[in-house]
């Protein structure tokens, strides 16, 4: 009705041009025509232009909808086309593509095509929410597996593992534990990451230390770090004896706990954790304090480059993963280094030989069109040759215990021997990992913030960790509104 309203001129007995309300008329007249002259297009032209617009619009939408979006190679006929999203790029993408090709050659029913999605883990959230997930996907960090599991966005593997998978005791314990939430396994591993201590033997020699004798306990680590630590006359640091790892790794070294899955309780401030944070703060203190160390660390070179602090002698000891030997050979083959298990607190000798695990997580999303075929790939990925193939090109630790001793991976060059050391460490049953919860991202961010506040004496370690517990617990209580599924108690007993 309103659209038919006449302009004031018309109401006053003067017809507005073309029957348009006068305000429209003014706009029209001012637009690129002599003042007061409306644009006069012939009816035919108007119809033609409208027709063209409509046809182009409709055709455009139709084309977008119908265009076959297919990345990567065309699947051969009569094979099930399975899409996987992975985050690897560059030479790592090539490595995974080789594994995928090996799988495609190994059988004639399924054809897997890999699409690399970069570093953004959250992309899968959007894909699942939009109802267009891939058939399976790799996710970088365990930070999101718990959130996906808690929202029923990924498929549990338990029945598949029981029916068709390798026995669980053939896996590195943590490789399955990383994706275990409320008693169910929501991610399958394809290689794991294991931390070890790396030390620069040249720096040890220059300081009069035995280069073949790395610190075995945290107390020894502190003594050695103090000896290797160097300060300039102006108070700035020249070399750190030991580069501090993330607080969760230090907590794991002390045998600390993060989460009680039975009671659904965050255990951030349990006594061992407080002890660990005290040691963390003390280690920073003996190396110049938190602000000095942060200032020094802000001048470190890029991680995967010859300018890394370990290569240029700015750091004498550090924790890193199994990929480090390959980085040394690639960026600084002249560096003489050693690798060993993470040190442990002298008063907890039962923790000797420990490591901290992370991994590559593969999940099958709810809404996957080919979950069975995706499982076939993940099942294949656990076989000896598949583990060996991927590990040899990706420099990740095989997640199957038997493959850890593979001579192909662990004997020969300096790089392989060092890699073998990490493989042996990774198989240690005392290895620790961060548990899978729906609030891991918040939890880890809060732990990092708490460690900084404690290191700068803004809070005591107890206060800082208590605040982490309160904040994360509050969030967890909001997320886990449903009661735990049956079987959680049993799962908790396994831990």
140 in contact with another protein (CB under 8 A): no
Measured CA to CA, the distance from residue 262 to residue 265 in angstroms comes to 8
448 in contact with another protein (CB under 8 A): yes
Contact segment (CB under 8 A) with another protein among 92-100, 147-155, 255-263, 301-309 equals 147-155
Among 79, 230, 372, 456, binds another protein (CB under 8 A): 456
3-state secondary structure 435-448: CCCCCHHHHHHHHH
Q: By CB under 8 A, what part of segment 174-233 binds another protein?
A: none
Contact segment (CB under 8 A) with another protein among 80-88, 201-209, 279-287, 439-447 equals 439-447
Nearer to another protein, 101 or 129 (CB): 129
Residue 134 CA to chain centroid, in angstroms? 18
Nearer to another protein, 223 or 452 (CB): 452
Measured CA to CA, the distance from residue 483 to residue 485 in angstroms comes to 6
Contact segment (CB under 8 A) with another protein among 48-56, 77-85, 248-256, 387-395 equals 48-56
Among 153, 268, 270, 364, binds another protein (CB under 8 A): 153
Phi, psi angles (nearest 5°) of residue 201: -70, -30
DSSP 197-208: EEEEHHHHHHTT
Contact segment (CB under 8 A) with another protein among 155-163, 215-223, 258-266, 435-443 equals 435-443
Nearer to another protein, 230 or 379 (CB): 230
What region does 192 belong to: left with phi over 0, alpha with psi -120 to 50, or beta? Answer: beta
CB distance 370 to 133 below 8 Å: no
Binding mask 271-310 for another protein (x = CB under 8 A): --------------------x--xxx-xx-----------
3-state secondary structure 327-392: HHHHHCCCCCEEEECCCECCCCHHHCCCCEEEEEEEECECCCCCHHHHHHHHHHCCCHHHHHHHHH
Minimum Å gap between C-beta 233 and another protein is 13
Among 479, 480, 488, 492, binds another protein (CB under 8 A): 479
DSSP strands (E only) in 47-187 = 80-86, 110-116, 136-139, 180-181, 184-185
Binding mask 85-124 for another protein (x = CB under 8 A): -------------------------------------x--
- Token duo for residue 125: 């959230």
Among 8, 11, 12, 19, binds another protein (CB under 8 A): 19
422 in contact with another protein (CB under 8 A): no
Q: What is the CA radius of gyration of the chain?
A: 30
Among 151, 217, 460, 473, binds another protein (CB under 8 A): 151
DSSP 255-322: T---EETTTTEE-TT-HHHHHHHHHHHHHHHTTT-HHHHHHHHTT---TTSTT-TTTTTSEEEEEE-T
168 in contact with another protein (CB under 8 A): no
DSSP label of 169: G
Among 147, 188, 339, 404, binds another protein (CB under 8 A): 147
18 in contact with another protein (CB under 8 A): yes
148 in contact with another protein (CB under 8 A): yes
Measured CA to CA, the distance from residue 490 to residue 182 in angstroms comes to 10
By the criterion CB under 8 A, which residues form the site for another protein?
A: 3-4, 18-20, 24, 46, 50, 53-54, 122, 125-126, 128-129, 147-148, 151-153, 236-237, 291, 294-296, 298-299, 439, 441-442, 445, 448-449, 452-453, 456, 458, 475, 478-479
């Amino acid at each position: 009705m309103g659209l038919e309203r006449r302009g004031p001129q018309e109401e006053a007995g003067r017809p507005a041009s073309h029957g348009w309300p006068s305000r429209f008329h003014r706009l029209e007249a001012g637009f690129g025509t002599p003042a007061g002259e409306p644009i006069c297009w012939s009816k035919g032209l108007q119809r033609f232009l409208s027709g063209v617009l409509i046809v182009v619009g409709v055709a455009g939408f139709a084309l977008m909808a119908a265009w076959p979006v297919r990345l990567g190679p065309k699947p051969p006929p009569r094979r099930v086309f399975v899409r996987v999203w992975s985050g690897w790029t560059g030479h790592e993408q090539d490595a995974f593509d080789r594994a995928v090709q090996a799988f495609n050659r190994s059988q004639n029913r399924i054809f897997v095509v890999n699409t690399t999605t970069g570093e953004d883990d959250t992309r899968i959230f959007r894909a699942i929410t939009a109802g267009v997930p891939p058939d399976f996907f790799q996710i970088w960090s365990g930070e999101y597996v718990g959130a996906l599991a808690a929202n029923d966005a990924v498929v549990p593997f338990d029945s598949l593992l029981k029916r068709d998978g390798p026995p669980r005791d053939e896996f590195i314990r943590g490789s399955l534990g990383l994706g275990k939430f409320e008693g169910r396994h929501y991610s399958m591993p394809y290689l794991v990451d294991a931390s070890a201590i790396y030390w620069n033997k040249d720096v040890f020699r220059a300081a009069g230390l035995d280069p073949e004798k790395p610190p075995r306990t945290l107390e020894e680590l502190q003594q050695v770090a103090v000896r290797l630590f160097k300060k300039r006359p102006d108070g700035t640091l020249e070399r750190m004896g030991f580069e501090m790892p993330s607080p969760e790794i230090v907590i794991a070294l002390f045998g600390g706990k993060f989460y009680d899955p039975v009671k659904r309780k965050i255990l951030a401030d349990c006594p061992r954790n407080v002890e660990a944070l005290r040691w963390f703060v003390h280690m920073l203190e003996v190396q110049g304090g938190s602000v000095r160390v942060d200032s020094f660390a802000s001048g470190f070179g890029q991680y995967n480059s010859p300018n890394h602090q370990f290569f240029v002698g700015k750091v004498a000891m550090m924790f890193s993963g199994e990929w480090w030997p390959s980085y040394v050979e690639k960026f600084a083959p002249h560096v003489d280094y050693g690798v060993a298990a993470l040190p442990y607190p002298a008063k907890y000798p039962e923790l000797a030989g420990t490591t901290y695990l992370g991994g590559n997580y593969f999940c099958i999303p709810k809404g996957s069109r080919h979950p069975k075929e995706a499982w076939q790939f993940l099942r294949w990925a656990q076989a000896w040759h598949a583990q060996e193939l991927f590990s040899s090109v990706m420099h990740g630790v095989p997640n199957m215990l038997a493959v850890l001793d593979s001579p192909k991976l662990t004997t020969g060059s300096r790089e392989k021997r060092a890699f073998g050391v990490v493989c042996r460490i990774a198989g240690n049953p005392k290895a620790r990992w961060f548990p899978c919860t729906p609030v891991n991202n918040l939890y880890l961010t809060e732990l990092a913030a708490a460690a900084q506040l404690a290191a700068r004496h803004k809070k005591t370690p107890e206060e800082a960790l208590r605040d982490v517990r309160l904040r994360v617990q509050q969030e967890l209580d909001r997320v886990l509104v449903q009661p735990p599924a049956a079987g959680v108690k049993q799962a908790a007993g396994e831990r």
